[in-house]
Amino acid sequence: MADKKIKVTLVKSVIGTKQSHRATVRGLGLRRLNSSAELEDTPAVRGMINKVSYLLKCEG
């Protein structure tokens, strides 16, 4: 499972969101709008994506 990758893209601004959600977005390696990151498919990363799914677009 860990050999798979997930591509996440920040499609909505973090302005006005909770501080913990902003920290989660930074933890995923996303800085500004439309920035993307390719991450390992692990339960920890899945949990972070689920927490801020309303800000992200996921592929793979």
pTM over 0.85: yes
H helices of 8-42, in order, are 19-27
- Digit-coded pLDDT (tens) for 2-56: 589 999 999 999 999 999 999 999 999 999 999 999 999 999 999 999 999 999 9
- Could you list the beta-strand ranges (E) of the chain: 5-10, 36-40, 56-59
pLDDT of residue 60: 84
Query: Which phi-psi region, left, alpha or beta, contains residue 19 (left: φ > 0; alpha: ψ -120 to 50)?
Result: alpha
* Strand, coil or helix: 18: coil
